[in-house]
Amino acid sequence: MKTRTLGQHGPTVSALGLGCMGMSDFYGPADHTESIATLHAALEAGVTLLDTGDFYGMGHNELLIRDALSGIPPSRRDSAIISVKFGALRDPARGWHGYDGRPAAVRNFLAYSLQRLGVDHVDIYRPARLDPSVPIEDTVGAIADLVKAGYVRHIGLSELGSESIRRAAAVHPISDLQIEYSLISRGIEDEILPTCRALGIGVTAYGVLSRGLISGHWQPGTRTNDFRAISPRFQGENAAHNLALVEALRAVADRKGVTVAQLAIAWVASRGNDIVPLVGARKRERLNEALGALDVELDANDIADIEHAVPKGAAAGERYAPALLTELDSEKRNR
């Protein structure tokens, strides 16, 4: 397994990370047995970075990871780097009620995560979103105290804009920023990615297949009674436009002898050694396809062909529904 280091201050992890969210939430029911098998297969293949959130299935995802780790040899279990997002407030009906970044809440969230995961520390701990009522310095300062106490190894961020990233980094070294980045979501290239690089902060890129839209597998009529049901890019004319981009990308993938998903993942990985793509595979079949992207080498001509097929800014529709966009500090420049 190839490895990359998350920024100047983060851990060395596999060049591809596994995003575990879909095994518990947002994309409909997942098979428990297959989820465990997929986690085991990822670890056996050398994937060390497991990304989760304490609010994915209201703790279900952390318990799932605990179950998976308990069933493997200690050497492989100890190699796992667990990244946890916190702060989202949920209710029993799976509703959303904002984010809590107060220092007392940070300590509370972590205590529950440690218990659910069955570990004595979290490798990377990060607020899922900026709490607009709490200075980012206070939230990061609280995590820094937990680093000193040995409960957290590294501090990460998620979906923050450049100003907030700088303010956070002034309090404590930051390992990485987790943010959406794909062929059809390239907004971070303008300000956020240069800021991270100037500060020595890595990027863990989620949504590299845009929730399956550019995976080469999704088609209109595919069940979308999940997060995608409110995603503008999956709706009506937007979906038709975006799938035309996928077909243009498929032509490039066919010439390379790879799948559309592998080409899209390889493109993200090619954007810099400081970027680690996260793939949300829920099944071993999709995991194996994603792992194949690590063997795809792209030269300058390949990059030109890919970006001709899917030009920057070519996607139709925003990456989140309007109400959710307002929660993203990273999108303030667009509002």
What are the boundaries of each domain within the chain?
A: 3-211+268-283+322-334
Interatomic CA distance for residues 206 and 321, integer angstroms: 17
Alpha-carbon Rg for the chain, nearest whole angstrom, is: 19
Report the distance separating Cα 124 and Cα 81, nearest Å. 8
Cβ-based neighbour number of residue 141 at 10 Å: 15
What is the DSSP pairing of strand 12-14 with strand 3-5?
antiparallel
* d(C-alpha 51, C-alpha 81), whole Å: 8
The pLDDT score that the predictor gives to residue 308 is: 95
Q: Which two tokens stand for residue 250?
A: 């498929």
Whether 208 contacts 278, CB under 8 Å: yes
Residues 6+ apart with CB under 8 A from 324: none
Q: How far is CA 109 from the centre of its chain?
A: 20
Q: Which CATH class is domain 3-211+268-283+322-334?
A: alpha beta
CA atoms within 13 A of residue 298's CA, in its CB half-sphere:
23
Q: How many CA atoms lie within 13 A of 269 on its CB side?
A: 27
Tens digit of pLDDT at every position of the chain (335 positions): 999 999 999 999 999 999 999 899 877 778 999 999 999 999 999 999 999 999 999 999 999 999 999 978 887 788 899 999 999 999 998 888 999 999 999 999 999 999 999 999 999 999 999 999 999 999 999 999 999 999 999 999 999 999 999 999 999 999 999 999 999 999 999 999 999 999 999 999 999 998 888 888 877 766 555 767 778 888 888 888 989 999 999 999 999 999 999 999 999 999 999 999 999 999 999 999 999 999 999 999 999 999 999 999 988 878 887 778 788 889 886 44
How far lies 37's CA from each of 32, 40, 64, 143, 252, in Å? 9, 5, 11, 32, 32
In this predicted structure, what is the pLDDT of residue 229?
A: 74
Task: Determine which helix (DSSP H) or strand (DSSP E) holds 264, and give its type and residue range.
Answer: helix 260-269
> What pLDDT does 334 receive?
45
Q: Could you give the maximum distance between any two Cα atoms of the chain, in Å?
A: 54
Kindly list the catalytic residues.
56
- The reported pLDDT for the residue numbered 221 is 66
CB 106 within 8 A of CB 139: yes
Determine phi and psi for 158, rounding to 5 degrees: -150, 125
